[in-house]
Amino acid sequence: MQTDYLFNGIRGYSRFKRFSYLFEMENTEATKRLKIIKFFDKYGLEATIEAFGVSRRTIYRYKATFKKSKENVSSLNPKSTAPKQIRKPTTPKAVVDEIKRLREKYPNIGKAKLHVMLHSWCEDNNLLLPSESTIGRIIARDKDKMRLFPQRIDSKGRVKPKKKEIKTRKPKGLKNAPMHLWAVDTIQRVTAGMRRYIMTMIDPNSRIAFAVAIPTKHTTHTAKVLEALIDGVTTNDNQDKFSILSDNGSEFKKEFDALLQKKQLTHYWTYPRSPKMNAHNERFNRTIQEQFVDYNDDLLFSDIDLFNQKMADWLIEYNTEIPHHSLQMKTPVQYLINTNPQCQMLWTNTKT
């Protein structure tokens, strides 16, 4: 896992990362300039210009700086290119206050809409209309970014702002070994005002899949299904950690997420309105509905235990008998065995 995702959300990590990148870049540049100076002392001016593509003036400037600092390598680091005199914003305070008022009246409205809405107000007050980019910079310079958070009341009657949650998102291009990432989701079925849910789980690598029908999508039920999955894919001989990928549904919070933290497992969340990040599970949801649920829908609402028994039989056939196009017409179990020849017991490696 990349460290950018491992430590993302920790206070101060972003600043430390920028500093470390800058420090690394400066050390690399200083070493390069010292190499130019040593090459110049050994081979002369013309050879140095031809080898490094730097001007005569630059070479002598490096050499003078190095000599002046009593041969301190850090003196060769690039100097700051920031301007000595920074222009101060000249936007009238009245315009800033009006932007803030509009952002409070229409919570967190964007700069493009603000630019249109400010046009008539600026004309009435004989003020220059700021550009769309200027409005964006005015908002960015504000201490709180002129951003409002919805208010909520806790169990003790205290009013607290509802702030944005920091979640571990699925890294781009994430690759996992078989059985080391499980994508989970829920299917909702409604009949005569009654709701039933099916929690589905699939390994995107091998396409091994499981599913359990639950009466509600409360986290007490989804956490029990997750615990059964954890117990089923881990043994005393196989304690490798795996990850869970889910959308931002309420059924994957509270007790479900707490169980993952207790087991020290990573919980990846997809971005809002991004079902393609969990595409394998979405496709499996369609398959299980078209091939099983649609033909046993009444049983789901009348006898959920019997429904789960029949679905378990179907899942065994899905994993062991039905070939998959994405697996070159192999079954998930065949593919798992072929890609892991040392493992012939599916869940654990056989020791010799």
Taking the C-alpha atoms of residue 12 and residue 18, their distance in angstroms, rounded to an integer, is 10
Quote the DSSP letter at residue 11.
Answer: T
- pLDDT at position 349: 47
* Cα torsion through 13, 15, 16, 17, rounded to 10: 80
- pLDDT at position 31: 87
- In CATH, 93-141 is 1.10.3470: no
- pLDDT at position 350: 46
| Cβ–Cβ under 8 Å, residues 184 and 153 | no
Structural tokens at position 290: 């078209």
Domain residue spans of the chain: 3-76, 93-141, 181-339
- pLDDT at position 240: 64
- pLDDT at position 316: 95
Taking the C-alpha atoms of residue 311 and residue 212, their distance in angstroms, rounded to an integer, is 8
Q: Give me the residues of the chain with pLDDT under 70, please.
A: 1-27, 161-164, 235-240, 341-352
The CATH number of 181-339, from 3.40.190.10, 3.30.420.10, 3.90.1150.10, 3.40.50.10130, is: 3.30.420.10
Backbone angles phi and psi of 12, in degrees to 5: 90, -10
How many Cα atoms occupy the beta-carbon half-sphere of 231 within 13 Å?
7
pTM of structure: 0.56
